[in-house]
Chain A
Amino acid sequence: MERFSVQEKELREILPEKTLKTRVPQVQISREIKPALPRYRNEIAKYIIYRSDDCIRCGKCAELCPYHVHVLKPGYRYFAMPKSYLCTGEACEKTDHYCITQCPQKALKIVKNPMIEALGDYRWPADMLLATWRMAENGEPPSPEYEYNYQVGESGGGFDRIRFKFPETPPVELQDDEIDTSILLNHRDDGRPQIQIDVPWYGGGMSFGSVSNVTQLSKVRAATAFNTFSCSGEGGYMERMRPYDDHMITQVATGLFGVREETIQRVRIIEFKYAQGAKPGLGGHLLGDKNTPAVAKIREAVVGISLFSPFPFHSVYSIEDHMKHLDWIKHINRRALLSTKVSTPTDVDMVAVGSYSAGTHIIHLDGGYGGTGAAPDIAKKNIAMPIEYAIAKVHKFLVDEGAREKVVLIASGGIRTAHDIAKAIALGADGVVIGTAEMIALGCVRCSRCSAGRGCPRGIATTDPGLVTQIDIEWGTQRLVNLYSAWRKDLIQILKRFGMRSVRELVGRSDLLIHLDFTNDI
């Protein structure tokens, strides 16, 4: 017991002895930005650079290019294949380091990559994917020369039609380090811990089974670095996660897969999942192919059978029943905060206020357009309202009911960038939960094949022993640390332009937004 810190000693008064005995020292992860290079040989690029046989290897291109597209390794006679993905393309034409015209032999050629057409979709267009990959690689928001239109998608509504109304000059000149991006997760004065996270987001629930253990660990390690959280999803709690207990959220969902007293007692936040945005009203669904022996063991299920979480909780018929659920957890873990994850039906505002009255600390709204797991296609776009509406509706209702200051409102389901985060907060959320963006940072191309068979061919959302090896935990962690860093910088720049010292000042400031399809004359 001596190895525990002072904080750990305090836990002795709260946690049962058997839980304390199984507690392991908590690991610290650095949030230092380090390059985390793409794991594929040919990173997808907007432009492709071709080098012809006319090249005399004079090295001028390598000398000129500030982006290190051209690499002539010491001791090598020939250039390596150009790193096309680092090329800024057309933006470079106006500069004096444009290799295409500067090459004395005219041996270089640039073309737009025709493959870009096949990359991305309305919600995650190619530019947004490419920009997210760059952020995960170097921890910086994309440089403007790359001309990535990554701040909005092409869905034609919601966040993609909302813009910030920045003042011409900030009302207060602030330095980056004067701006606070932390939020509090307990607004109730109920004697429970006041947990603060350093960024206004945490990682969404993705179970072991839906994603690999490497993906889960990378997520929680990045969350640890940024003093925030990641969620177990409904798939049990891997032993390997115990060094990160303080940054894990245990999810209690309807199937109760892997839910045990000790997994509830280990952590600081428990999330009740009533519904999820990927398939609102339909429960959880892990197809049999992904239920490998390791997954089955942790879920205490039979190998190879599809696992359904019935919808909803069979023990909850009312808000009063929900309150009993919360009380149950509060008794089991006397230090935990409770989150209630719901989807976005018409009466989402009533659900939220009911959940608040039942005693939840965090109301987590999961809008219909997000989700990372397997879902019937019919559920993805047709059930429940998009998160943009739900945030504004719930925020207003909680304000009107006088409950807004006492509960934390978290939004998810289609949060793709730091700009989406800021818009969600301005519409009324305190913070957000992210999911797909983390998968993209790990190399997801949104081919949507994560649901069945061996699962994700890119080794992220799979439990196939062969495919899982594609990702290394250190690399995965660093990619996510880098993404978090870039997002935090992006968010600070937004707050800076508004002259805000804290992200908490942005909550509910919809007056700082405009919608391109509205008159904006209110």
Chain B
Amino acid sequence: MPEKYHIKTTPVPPRLPRIGKHGIVDWREDCARCHNCVKKACVYDRHRQEAAYIRNLKHSDFLFFECMGCFSCVQNCTKDLLCLTINSEYKKLGNHYWTPEIIHITWQQAETAAVPVSGAGYRGRFAGHGFDSMWTDMSEIVRPTRDGIHGREYISTSVDIGKKPSYLTFDSDQKISGLPAVIDIPMPMIVDMNPAEFTLPQLESYIVEAVKLTDLIAIVDSAKWPSALNDNQMKSIEAYLPHIAFHLNPDAPEIPFDVVRKTRLVEIPDGDDVLSRIAELKEKYPGLIISVRVALDSKGVDRTVELSRSGVEVIHTVADFNGDEIGVESPGFIKDMIREIHTTLIKEGIRDEVTIIASGGFALPEHMAKGLLCGADLISIYLPLMIALECRLCSSCRPGLICPARLEDINFAYGVGRMRNLIAAWHLQLIELMGAMGMREARRLRGDVGRAMFFEQLEEEIFGTLFGSRKRA
């Protein structure tokens, strides 16, 4: 049996006090000083921990919010002096898309590298915006394999980046010839370069280490890379280069030939001269895979299809952080744009000739699976890794502004460990979903909408026959 893809993890505790959802307000006044105070009976021992926290206060600007919200002490206090509240700091986390729940669960995964588990069923909305308007299917009987727990040992999450030939050609020696280069990546995910809104330069080295540990690829802006390296420097980065994909910024100095040559993928911005630029690079670096970054604005879908027709092998389609179409008043969502691209390429018979990397709005591991089901080959993320470092997405990371998560203070082991843990947790959860779907290969998820259910479709197909037409929102 070949060695399985497995990310070795260890817990990496948070640096800062947790911004939990619940807290207990203790009015104290009129306290009866009961001998067996309810606080002593806390199953989680939170009251004692809170007292210890206050005694050894290291962060005067953080209160203790680790209450688990069970109401037991509140309801048992003889004088009814305790009150459970929702932490106002918790409510401020993130934004309408990157909700406090998403940020919280990301922190949890970055700490433990485990699949979040809880009881008492689902607590959320019936359906929602974006990825929340679809469900993955499950298989009642058909499974990837009959062995092991869920058969997960046999599930492959690898995908390919590059052009896949629609037929094989053989040379005069009956050997397959003309196979284009492809990158086999163990998980359908790469790391995008950091956006200007969240600029923290020192993170790049942490990200590169994390992707090396997880055998993934990170896109790095060439403008942030030295234009010349001495031998020692070259030696020290050599092992990292297969995990780096330079975004060749036209305004930046050129990356040394020997550096680019040792990478597997580069990205170039879209533009009028993109095809000639690809030809130029292909000539200079045979075997290097070239991706074109296309903004998913009002022309993004058409442009992606157009580039595919032109023979571009990899297209990195990028929506905004929330997965929305860029610069449009009523934006489409990335899942729908990807579906449109995928369907068009299928109709034109060129789907396998291009790899589509989707970016924007991928906040949770289920989004990765759903993005693939909608037609992406793989996705790219950045913000989840930031959140893994206890970022709250306040968008204040600019020179001169104080980062409330103190990201400038993080050390290498913490930064790399938290990002690695998050990637590992996402990988495990992808396997959970694929196991439930009865899918053995992540490659086969691409565009398999038969393994997905869409809210609009179910409403129309099932409720439409009972209740008429759905009203417009």
Residues of chain A in range 253-297 having any CB-CB distance to chain B below 8 Å: 274-275, 278-283, 285, 287
Closest residue of chain B to A427 (Cβ to Cβ) is: B466
Cβ–Cβ < 8 Å partners of A92 in chain B: none
Pick out which of these stretches binds chain B: A169-177, A220-228, A440-448, A480-488: A440-448
| Cross-chain contact A374 with B118 (CB below 8 angstroms) | yes
Is B70's beta carbon under 8 Å from chain A? Answer: yes
Is B347's beta carbon under 8 Å from chain A? Answer: no
Residues of chain A in range 154-170 having any CB-CB distance to chain B below 8 Å: 155-158, 160-161
Instruction: Kindly name the residue among B84, B364, B369, B436 whose own CB sees the greatest number of chain A CB atoms within 10 A.
Output: B436
Given contacts A42-B75, A282-B436, A457-B68, contact A123 B86 (CB under 8 A): no
| Cross-chain contact B467 with A514 (CB below 8 angstroms) | yes
| Cross-chain contact B138 with A281 (CB below 8 angstroms) | yes
| Cross-chain contact B471 with A519 (CB below 8 angstroms) | yes
| Cross-chain contact B69 with A118 (CB below 8 angstroms) | yes
Is B462's beta carbon under 8 Å from chain A? Answer: yes
Is B238's beta carbon under 8 Å from chain A? Answer: no
Cβ–Cβ < 8 Å partners of B135 in chain A: 368, 381-385
| Cross-chain contact B146 with A314 (CB below 8 angstroms) | yes
Q: How far is the CA of A222 from the CA of B313 in the complex (A)?
A: 65
Cβ–Cβ < 8 Å partners of B43 in chain A: 453-454, 457, 467
Question: Shortest Cβ distance from A387 into chain B, in angstroms?
Answer: 11
| Cross-chain contact A457 with B119 (CB below 8 angstroms) | no
Interface string of B71-112 (1 = CB under 8 A from A): 110111110100111100000000000000000010000000
Given contacts A156-B127, A380-B122, A447-B71, contact A115 B463 (CB under 8 A): no
| Cross-chain contact B126 with A156 (CB below 8 angstroms) | yes
| Cross-chain contact B70 with A445 (CB below 8 angstroms) | yes
Given contacts A386-B126, A514-B467, contact A41 B72 (CB under 8 A): no
Is A96's beta carbon under 8 Å from chain B? Answer: no
Question: Shortest Cβ distance from B70 into chain A, in angstroms?
Answer: 4
Cβ–Cβ < 8 Å partners of A302 in chain B: none
Given contacts A385-B453, A454-B43, A517-B471, contact A158 B432 (CB under 8 A): no
Interface string of B107-138 (1 = CB under 8 A from A): 00000000111111111111110001001111
Residue from A282, A342, A351, A513 within 8 A of B150 (CB atoms): A282
| Cross-chain contact A312 with B433 (CB below 8 angstroms) | no
Q: How far is the CA of A253 from the CA of B264 in the complex (A)?
A: 48
Is B450's beta carbon under 8 Å from chain A? Answer: yes
| Cross-chain contact B122 with A368 (CB below 8 angstroms) | yes
Q: How far is the CA of A90 from the CA of B194 in the complex (A)?
A: 53
| Cross-chain contact A375 with B150 (CB below 8 angstroms) | no
| Cross-chain contact A389 with B436 (CB below 8 angstroms) | no
Residue from B77, B118, B143 within 8 A of A311 (CB atoms): B143
Interface string of B137-162 (1 = CB under 8 A from A): 11111010010111000000000000
Is B201's beta carbon under 8 Å from chain A? Answer: no
Residue from B75, B85, B366, B469 within 8 A of A41 (CB atoms): B75
| Cross-chain contact B138 with A393 (CB below 8 angstroms) | no
Q: How far is the CA of A419 from the CA of B22 in the complex (A)?
A: 31
Is B380's beta carbon under 8 Å from chain A? Answer: no
Q: How far is the CA of A458 from the CA of B120 in the complex (A)?
A: 13
Question: Shortest Cβ distance from A510 into chain B, in angstroms?
Answer: 5
Residue from B119, B124, B364, B435 within 8 A of A449 (CB atoms): B119
Is A310's beta carbon under 8 Å from chain B? Answer: yes
Is A190's beta carbon under 8 Å from chain B? Answer: no
Residue from A368, A376, A446 within 8 A of B429 (CB atoms): A376
Given contacts A282-B432, A343-B138, contact A450 B463 (CB under 8 A): no
Is B470's beta carbon under 8 Å from chain A? Answer: yes
Given contacts A281-B438, A311-B435, A378-B429, contact A115 B74 (CB under 8 A): yes
Q: How far is the CA of A280 from the CA of B280 in the complex (A)?
A: 51
Residue from A158, A308, A375, A449 within 8 A of B149 (CB atoms): A308
Cβ–Cβ < 8 Å partners of B375 in chain A: none
Is B53's beta carbon under 8 Å from chain A? Answer: no
Is B388's beta carbon under 8 Å from chain A? Answer: no
Given contacts A115-B85, A454-B43, contact A123 B124 (CB under 8 A): yes
Is B464's beta carbon under 8 Å from chain A? Answer: yes
Question: Shortest Cβ distance from A459 into chain B, in angstroms?
Answer: 9
Closest residue of chain A to B455 (Cβ to Cβ) is: A157
Closest residue of chain B to A281 (Cβ to Cβ) is: B436
Residues of chain A in range 414-465 having any CB-CB distance to chain B below 8 Å: 414, 427, 436, 439, 444-454, 456-458, 461
Residue from B71, B119, B138, B464 within 8 A of A372 (CB atoms): B119
Residues of chain A in range 33-73 having any CB-CB distance to chain B below 8 Å: 40-44
Is A241's beta carbon under 8 Å from chain B? Answer: no
Is B412's beta carbon under 8 Å from chain A? Answer: no
Cβ–Cβ < 8 Å partners of A376 in chain B: 115-117, 429, 432
| Cross-chain contact A450 with B453 (CB below 8 angstroms) | no
Is A379's beta carbon under 8 Å from chain B? Answer: yes
Instruction: Kindly name the residue among B138, B141, B463 whose own CB sees the greatest number of chain A CB atoms within 10 A.
Output: B138
Residue from A287, A308, A467 within 8 A of B117 (CB atoms): A287
Q: How far is the CA of A170 from the CA of B119 in the complex (A)?
A: 42
| Cross-chain contact B116 with A115 (CB below 8 angstroms) | no
Interface string of B362-383 (1 = CB under 8 A from A): 0011100110000000000000
Question: Shortest Cβ distance from B1 into chain A, in angstroms?
Answer: 19
Is A27's beta carbon under 8 Å from chain B? Answer: no
Cβ–Cβ < 8 Å partners of B71 in chain A: 40, 44, 119, 445, 447
Question: Shortest Cβ distance from A116 into chain B, in angstroms?
Answer: 10
Closest residue of chain B to A318 (Cβ to Cβ) is: B141
Cβ–Cβ < 8 Å partners of B116 in chain A: 376-378
Q: How far is the CA of A383 from the CA of B122 in the complex (A)?
A: 11
| Cross-chain contact A274 with B118 (CB below 8 angstroms) | no
Cβ–Cβ < 8 Å partners of A343 in chain B: 138, 140
Instruction: Kindly name the residue among B22, B132, B453 whose own CB sees the greatest number of chain A CB atoms within 10 A.
Output: B453
Cβ–Cβ < 8 Å partners of B80 in chain A: 41-42, 81
Point out residues on A near B: beta carbons under 8 Å.
Answer: 40-44, 81, 114-115, 117-119, 121-124, 155-158, 160-161, 274-275, 278-283, 285, 287, 308, 310-312, 314, 316-318, 322, 342-343, 345-347, 351, 368-386, 389, 392-393, 396, 414, 427, 436, 439, 444-454, 456-458, 461, 467, 510, 513-515, 517-522
What are 13 A-B contacts with C-beta separation under 8 Å?
A40-B72, A155-B126, A156-B128, A157-B125, A287-B117, A345-B139, A378-B364, A383-B138, A386-B126, A444-B120, A446-B123, A453-B44, A514-B467
The 10 closest A-B pairs by CB, nearest first: A157-B126, A281-B436, A450-B119, A40-B75, A281-B138, A518-B467, A121-B123, A519-B468, A457-B43, A515-B467
Having A118-B84, A345-B140, A379-B432, one finds 7 other A-B pairs with CB under 8 Å, namely: A114-B83, A123-B123, A156-B128, A378-B116, A378-B365, A457-B43, A522-B468
